[in-house]
Amino acid sequence: MKVDLKNATITDFFNIAEVTANGKKDISTDGVNSDPDGDGDQTNNADPTPIQFKLDISPDRPAIGIALSVADSAKIDATCYSVTYLALVKNFGNAKLTNVQVADSLSKTFADSVTYKVLDSTVGGKSTLKLNPNFDGKDDVNLLIADSTSKLEVGQLDSLFFTVKVFHNGITGPFNNNAYAEAIGNGKIVTDISNAGTEIKINESTPTSLVLPISNGELIIPDAFSPNGDDKNDTFIIELPAGAKMIACDIYNRWGHVVFKDKDGILTSKGWDGKSNQGVRFGTEGMPDGTYYFALDYELNGQRVHKVSYLTLAR
């Protein structure tokens, strides 16, 4: 079979065959084994056979490519992480690209039991790409405003960062994500689906995988936090081992005065926001930056555990 790819804009194709005999029909499965699941029923296997072509992007036509990676993943508290994605998009053709668009359907990336919130997005310093302030990954999946001024010159590589606050509900993932790039060059629409990593491979569309390092089997206590209202590491929160029960926790200033007493398990739920509830009050601005100490008592498997350490408050 000869396949003409001169006008192709995609590289992945799928093929199926169908056979009918004595009124019964079967659809092909991929490979040489007609019963890959080994259940004795060959009619319940119907996976298409993938075919991938390597396309050479000739210099006389426009082309765009995109890669997606996880640039940063930081724990905010016991309930959520801040995840920053980096999308790299490049003009691989010989014509200027306009109406450049990058889209990401985050609602398809994260499971139904996982919620998220888009915090912010930025582009490269000299970029002409225009951010879409309404991007939320669900009702509006477009990261850019794709008008004639949103463009990529020939050979130009641009970067696009967007940060998502992921409320994981104890689910680690993996969460697989692909971004989609589209633009217009020489009157033609060109597209690409992202590959994972920071090297753009326009013939590949591998998903970018995120796995959150959630652990329920050990005591996790941050050594610093920054209660400055930016939704990043704003509270001092303690994660107890699975099955453990909080008994008490006091936080002291450098002179040994108690400034915060845990009430109703707040340090393992909402966390400490840096404001005192004991002794001298500091008003809405909270406690000053500096080093504080805590004494923690909890019960695990019928045994009382006592831990003393320090933490840093830095806005």
Strand-pair category, 80-91 with 64-75: antiparallel
- At 126, the amino acid letter reads K
What pLDDT does residue 188 have? 92
For tokens 């920053």, name the residue: 84
- At 21, the amino acid letter reads A
- CATH number at 64-210: 2.60.40.740
Alpha-carbon separation of residue 112 from 2, 179, 245 (angstroms): 44, 19, 29
Question: Which of 13, 14, 11, 12 lies closest to 28, judged by CA?
Answer: 14
Secondary structure (3-state) at 87? strand
Q: Distance between CA 17 and CA 22 in Å, rounded?
A: 17
Alpha-carbon separation of residue 153 from 143, 188, 283 (angstroms): 19, 15, 54
Radius of gyration of the chain (CA): 27
**pLDDT in single tens digits along all 315 residues of the chain:** 776 665 555 566 777 888 787 777 777 777 777 766 666 676 766 777 777 665 555 555 899 999 999 998 888 877 888 999 999 999 999 899 999 999 999 999 987 778 888 988 888 767 789 999 999 999 999 999 999 999 999 999 999 999 999 988 778 888 999 999 999 999 999 999 999 999 999 878 999 999 887 765 678 888 899 888 887 888 999 988 877 889 999 999 988 899 999 988 899 888 999 999 887 766 666 899 999 999 999 998 788 889 999 999 998
Of the CA atoms within 13 Å of residue 5, those in its CB half-sphere come to: 16
pLDDT (tens digit per residue) in 94-137: 899 999 999 999 999 987 778 888 988 888 767 789 999 999 99
pLDDT (tens digit per residue) in 182-208: 999 999 999 999 999 999 998 789 999
- Which two three-digit tokens encode residue 152? 């990529």
Task: Say if CB 124 and CB 199 are below 8 A apart.
Answer: no
Question: Which of 107, 252, 96 lies closest to 175, judged by CA?
Answer: 107
Helices (H), 123-246: none
In DSSP terms, 83 is beta-bridged to: 73, 164
What pLDDT does residue 158 have? 93
Query: How much is the pTM?
Result: 0.55
For tokens 């029909």, name the residue: 25
- Which two three-digit tokens encode residue 97? 């690209």
In DSSP terms, 175 is beta-bridged to: 210
What pLDDT does residue 53 have? 60
Of the CA atoms within 13 Å of residue 156, those in its CB half-sphere come to: 18
Alpha-carbon separation of residue 121 from 33, 80, 143, 217 (angstroms): 48, 19, 8, 34
Q: Distance between CA 90 and CA 244 in Å, rounded?
A: 51
Say if domain 224-313 classifies as CATH 1.10.10: no
Task: Say if CB 98 and CB 151 are below 8 A apart.
Answer: yes
Strands of the sheet with 98-103, listed across from one edge: 98-103, 180-185, 188-193
Q: Distance between CA 69 and CA 194 in Å, rounded?
A: 9
CATH 2.60.40.740 domain position(s) in the chain: 64-210
What pLDDT does residue 292 have? 94
